[in-house]
Amino acid sequence: MNDLLGSGRYRIGIAGASGYGGAEALRWLVAHPHFEVCGVTSRANVGRSVAEVHPHLAGFYEDLTFVSDPEDLLGTQPDAVILALPHRFAAAYAHALRTVYPELRLVDLSGDHRLGSAATYRAHYDADHPYPDQLTSGDWVYGLTEQNRDRLAGARVVANPGCFATGAILGALPLARRAMIVGPVRHVAITGSSGSGAEAKPGTHHPERVEDVKAYKVLAHQHVPEVLRSLREAGLDREKSWWMVPQSGPFARGIFTTLFIDLPAGADADFVRDAFEQDYASEPFVRLREGTPRLTNVTGTNFCDVAVTVAEGVAVVTTAIDNLGKGMAGQAIQNLNLLFELPETTGLLVPGTRP
Ligand SMILES: NC(=O)c1ccc[n+]([C@@H]2O[C@H](COP(=O)([O-])OP(=O)(O)OC[C@H]3O[C@@H](n4cnc5c(N)ncnc54)[C@H](OP(=O)(O)O)[C@@H]3O)[C@@H](O)[C@H]2O)c1
């Protein structure tokens, strides 16, 4: 590993840096005082500069050009690599990197290392995991920072949570910890088009959805198993089910989540609100809001804004995140900070762009 005191910075590689998540990691890392980007990959852009592929990054990364293969990325001598690749390919790339350099730190943005069994993976990702032993190896720490901060400090490989999962878990965590969740949780979440990645596809392409709202993968979204796994670790009863209705929204960035959580009989509204205040008062990237969070307050940031309303035995929790920020590249950098034992907020404390 490079020496922070000697080189001044840890060297970060980004696999899949021509896509949305990779571009967002590049944007955040411009201002990071202890990380520098040493290598970027894309199969379609080998030899091109970062600015050619991402014009908004012109003036930064002047000498950085894309490579493709794991060996070429390792040739740039990274201390850590962010994997911003489609699922299955992320696991294969991780395997190739770790075969040559077992000590390499990795943060995987894909769903390839979030689940605990090959059967669950197959059921939700419509494919066999290329390295199923990785799902049971115990190596990969689930990177929901607010839940697993202690395990992330000093970890080597991190499964960054899904974007929907981040908004949902942060909405339910204080109640799961206190066994305050009764009955199935109803989960409605509306996402922007950047959640589908940079490649235009029928159905998710922005012009197809810009003046429309629709549900998809009703009761069948692949993030539900990681939500349940995470909340069960926090204390959720194993018998509880989770009903999710994802929706496609007519905007580019952000996920707005609504959870309907049935409370135990006689639950006190003040107790519920206090639970959120206690758990999140010292969380640097979770902000409690009155009434409702708003996407415009969090886009371009690493914040998750949360509001809770209690009446008639139900807690309605709403959360807002930037799917590319706290839902992806921002949280990846939060986790990288922990891996390198840096203050968790380093390079990430910026306000939202709109009131
Ligand atoms: N978008 C979100 O809001 C979001 C949030 C959280 C997590 N995620 C997850 O993060 C990962 C990246 O998402 P994204 O939205 O950034 O995707 P994206 O915009 O489609 O970018 C994918 C990147 O991977 C490269 N790539 C594609 N196929 C590849 C292959 N077979 N082998 C190697 N490289 C390949 C692409 O470049 P080349 O084709 O040129 O190689 C590109 O750089 C996905 O697993 C996604 O599920 C996405």
Q: Residue 14 carries which DSSP code?
A: E
* Inter-residue contact 295 to 189 (CB < 8 Å): no
Kindly state the tokens that stand for 37: 């980007």
Which of ligand 1's atoms lies nearest the C-alpha of 195?
Answer: 3
Sheet with strand 10-15: strands edge to edge: 66-67, 35-41, 10-15, 80-83, 105-108, 157-159, 140-142
Beta strands in the chain (DSSP E): 10-15, 35-41, 66-67, 80-83, 105-108, 140-142, 157-159, 182-191, 214-215, 242-248, 255-262, 286-288, 304-311, 314-321
Query: Ligand 1 pocket, 328 CB below 6 A?
Result: yes
Q: Residue 151 carries which DSSP code?
A: H
Which of ligand 1's atoms lies nearest the C-alpha of 86?
Answer: 45
List the residue whose alpha carbon is closest to atom 32 of ligand 1: 89
β-pair partners for 14: 40, 82
β-pair partners for 185: 242
Domains of the chain, residue spans: 4-138, 164-323
Q: Look up the CATH superfamily of 164-323.
A: Dihydrodipicolinate Reductase; domain 2 (3.30.360.10)
Q: Residue 294 carries which DSSP code?
A: -
Residue 327: left if φ>0, alpha if ψ -120 to 50, beta else—which one? alpha
DSSP three-state, residue 50: helix
pTM over 0.85: yes
Please report, in tens digits, the pLDDT of each residue of the chain (355 residues total): 554 545 679 999 999 999 999 999 999 999 999 999 999 999 999 999 999 999 999 999 999 999 999 999 999 999 999 999 999 999 999 999 999 999 999 999 999 999 999 999 999 999 999 999 999 999 999 999 999 999 999 899 999 999 999 999 999 999 999 999 998 999 999 999 999 898 878 777 878 888 899 999 999 999 999 999 999 999 999 888 999 999 999 999 999 999 999 999 999 999 999 999 999 999 999 999 999 999 999 999 999 999 999 999 999 999 999 999 999 999 999 999 999 999 999 999 999 988 8
Query: Ligand 1 pocket, 176 CB below 6 A?
Result: no
Domain at 4-138, CATH from 3.40.630.10, 3.40.30.10, 3.40.50.720, 3.40.50.150: 3.40.50.720
* Inter-residue contact 231 to 165 (CB < 8 Å): no
**Active-site hit among 12, 163, 173, 231:** 163
Residues 6+ apart with CB under 8 A from 6: none
